[in-house]
Structure 1
Amino acid sequence: MEASLIERLERAVQRLEALGVEPSLASASAGVTNVQECKAKPSESSLLTEWDRLLAEQLAPVKALSQHIPHEAQKSMESFESAFRATRRVLEISLLAKKPESPAELQSLLAPVSKAMGAVTEAAEGRRSCQNHLKVLAEAVGALGFLACGPGTGMSSPRQHVLDCWQSAEFFANKLLMEFRGKDEDQVAWVRGVKALVQHHLEQYVLRNCPTGLRFNPDGVTLAEAVSDGAAATSAPSAQAQAPAPAAPKPACQRPGAPPPPPPGPPPKPLSADELGLETVEAGGGGGGGMSAIFKELSAGEGITRKLRHVTAVMKSKHNPDRTGCVPAAPTAPTATALKKGQPSGSPSLELKGTKWVVENFNGRQDLLVENATPKQSVYVYGCTDCVVQIQGKVNAISLDNCKRCGLVFKDVIASVEAVNCSSVQLQTTGTVPTITVDKTDGAQLYLSQACATNPNFQIVSAKSSSINVIVVPAENDPSDPQEQPIPEQYLSTFKGGKLVTVAAEHSGA
């Protein structure tokens, strides 16, 4: 049966070669064996081949140019690269696994990508010496969120998500171009490289391979099995190095005529007592120092405490009148600075308290739903990260407070919708709302209906915020494209006729 299986796999390789598809797909770094790669259909192999080409031809030159940017931005660039390489692993598993049965499974699959993206985002928080470099990377890496986009998520299409993220990053990219054009062409080339990577090549990749979201294999294995197979393949070399094994058979997907893999190297030399930091026992057995002396004392049993000094009442600290050397006790409750950034400070909760719906402390939930809301009720969303909240029904007001990378979808609001102390949020209305307020927020995408755009009384109030874009979504039967306009955040003030006149500053990018 084994010979028959090998013969079938070799015939599959020959068909792949006839189609011009490389079976190996350079998967050594991802830890996937050739047998696993042969499970993917020939048409699906291009998914990974094209991603490898994007990493080699677009990401690698940007990484090489990053040696010319500030050191702090170079460290953030490493996390940026890690997020792209972790995405390859997700794409690889999607070819082998069925669609996850729950959002929690999908979240676990995307966890390595989210962790790397979070490191880039955290590096851009606060005031830094190279703020614009860090902001470009933080906004651009959000484009990898296309992995979580798709029908039923309440988010925009994967391609539109990539474009939206770059539009947020382009504001800071234009600042860098204006600062370094004609002064430091290496940094200008780095900015343009990041732009080409995300706006052009990543957008085209998503359009060709993931137009409706991450694709899975309907005939594949479960997600847990696909992940464990990859983990086993990664640990296989170390397992082989522990014990010598007989000559391995020819791999199932190895090309005819290709040389066999090299044999495993010799096992590591055992560490000596000196390398372990231990003292050797003297020849003759007894009376040695070091570890032997320690074990000798431990074997004394209860008598080991006879050498300890007795602590009298006078020696106790409570009887010492001098308190200058005492260290105050630490508070039992953790302070706000002790809590890790981006982590919820309490337990997740979605409940109706009186006339207010409270949604708080969720992380990575794309299915949060407020149902049967009434016009007398309001909605308060607090401390959520990487979540999507949908509100059904007409409500009085909506508040989004201290949230990161969250989406909010609602219909009709009587009073107002506000986002405060947030970053990278999306607000979308399919009905009407009189006022949207954005305060102390970095990165906000406001998706408005035609009803809002044609209402002369509708208004957007913004303060202490940056990177706010307004997208007017066409009606359901309207074939026109969405219209996007940025809200100015930089102004020029001049005196004209003794009066101070302020206008919005205009920027032009490369």
Structure 2
Amino acid sequence: MSTDSLKNVVERLESVASKLEKIEHGVSNLSLAGVVGSQDPSDIHDVAPSITAFDEIVKQNLKKYYEVSEKIGGLVRDQSKLFEQLVTEHRNLILIASKSKKSPESLPDISRKQIELTVKIVKMTADNRSSPFFTHLSAVSEGLGAFGWVSVEPAPAPFVHEMIGASEFYSNKLLRQYRNKDQDQVDWVQGLNGFLKALEAYVKTYHTTSLTWNAQGEDVKTVLSKLKMSCPSSQGEATDKGEAKPSVPKSSVASNTNALFGELNKGTDITSGLKKVTSDMKTKNRKASASDNLPKPKSTPAGGKAPSMKSPPKFELQNNNWIIEYQTGDAKIDVDITEMRQVVRLYKCDGATVRIKGKLNAINIDSCRRTDIIFDEVVSIVELINCTGSVNIQVLGKVPCITIDKVSGASVILSKTSLDTRIVTSKSDSVNVMVPDNENSLKEFPVPEQFVSTIRDGALFTESNTHIGE
């Protein structure tokens, strides 16, 4: 073989090797994104610097967290699997934005899987308070609010910083417990904390004023089609096995307000225009004050016992947690939120009214009875668990998600700006959702309690036995 021929062969081999390296790099990115289906190699490789940077902070910080979680096993391992899926969905969202024209109205749909995973992680923590790993579970679930930066303008990085503090309240406990005793546990904390702090720096660098979209990109639906990704419907969708999930009743609102996290950082008066409940509405003979705008459910279950009140009432701020416990009778509690990362926790209150003023991270209501909670704005989630006998929640501003678990008797009143709230119920009865209508009154929707399951073509389909709102 001549020298020229050999040279040509070497050049061709180098060219092939270069293409293989590009394809390998693209496949790696595809795996991290969780994208289903095939794409052109050029599209796979063509990722924005923000995606590469996100992959790097995941690789550098979460490997040890996942490894130690697997070693600990049990609930910690199970939660880490959900957290891994959440990180993947977060990466998907950033990827979609990097290839799409700015489309805030599409944010609720492309964020929906992220919200569903967040609910699962928070519920896992709430259901396992007696677990010896409750502090581990809490460190993760309290940090989930950081993923909400995607809807914050004009300064999402400080928002992430606020959310990190809620997680560190628990992770610092673990460091004090295990430092110089168990290096794996220390590595677990450092991996989780390291990722959240790296996320803050990442947002500050690549999404300085808001989630970065692509001005030269295509519309979101076209990008989803090319990436072979699907956007879950806000109504009942089918599972992988063909099982139909029951729909949550939801009022129609304009697309520019239909965002699960929308307008979280605005400082305007979110209570302006709030309509009072008057005596001629469904909930008769109630005074038109904020604390009395909470109607009782049509059916209050009998036999519910009031929680034991042997412990003294408590109302205090511990780090970033407002603790409200054993408040009875006509107790009226006003909570003035001073930092967005603060959390309000109610436990075994009976007959109290709690008014929360300002924007906060989350609200947890556990084992309460005949209690009214009125709040302005929550950036992550409101949890209602193990409650009986007319517990009422009124949203004056916005909240992405409300979870109701093992509750008998509850009402949720939404404001006009919170009609996109996702309400998740399980093992609950006598739950009503009330929304404002065009006649300055409230329209009431009972949440279905009974479901009908049928077998169709070898698959199980489940739907509520009544169609609410028709």
Greater relative CO, 1 or 2 (CA 8 Å, sep 6+): 2
Name the larger-Rg structure.
Answer: 1
Where is the strand percentage greater, Structure 1 or Structure 2? 2
TM bracket, shorter-chain basis: 0.3 to 0.5
TM (normalized to structure 1)? 0.43
TM-score, L = length of structure 2: 0.46
